Amino acid sequence: MNSFFTAIADNKILMVAIAAWVLAQVLKTIIYYCLLKEVTIERMFGAGGMPSSHSALVVSLSTAIGMIEGVESTNFAISVVFAVVVMYDATGVRQAAGKHAKAINRIAKQLSSKNTFDDISLKELLGHTPIEVIAGALLGFFVAYIFTK
């Protein structure tokens, strides 16, 4: 069992991806604090915000694979397709879901004030703006580049 964890820790590609994700989450928490002067642990683990940790994770993964195994490898091709799907989803589907949640929360608030509906609150910060995705992708690229060169 010890060799299993050692093998995981020795997997440079995996460690680069995790490092990029953690760095993005820390930056997101710091940026959130600087903008709103509010510390919240949810920012450290939650979705949405600047920079996109999903984009940082998948771009660092693709970059590390490309630099270690070569851009002609099957793993690189798979990871690039995976990265494109994740980043498209972050700006498309999940951002739309966040907008829907915001509208539903407004409707629910109006109905609850008239005592016709129980007060509910859906999470609104789910997706990313294109600039958040680009920032996460750049962060992921540079983290992988620095740790794999």
Per-residue pLDDT of the chain (149 residues; tens, 9 = 90+): 789 989 999 999 999 999 999 999 999 989 888 888 877 777 677 777 889 999 999 999 999 999 999 999 999 999 999 999 999 888 876 666 667 767 776 777 776 666 665 666 656 555 678 899 999 999 999 999 999 98
The answer to the question of residue 99 being in a domain is no
Write out the residue range of the structural domain in which residue 9 sits: 2-92+127-148
Report whether 32 contacts 67 (CB < 8 A): no
Task: Look at the chain and report how many structural domains it folds into.
Answer: 1
**112 part of a folded domain:** no
Would you say residue 88 lies in a domain? Answer: yes
Domain-embedded: residue 109? no
Judging by beta carbons within 10 Å of its beta carbon (0-12, 13-18, 19+), is residue 122 exposed, middle or buried? middle
Mean per-residue pLDDT of the chain: 85
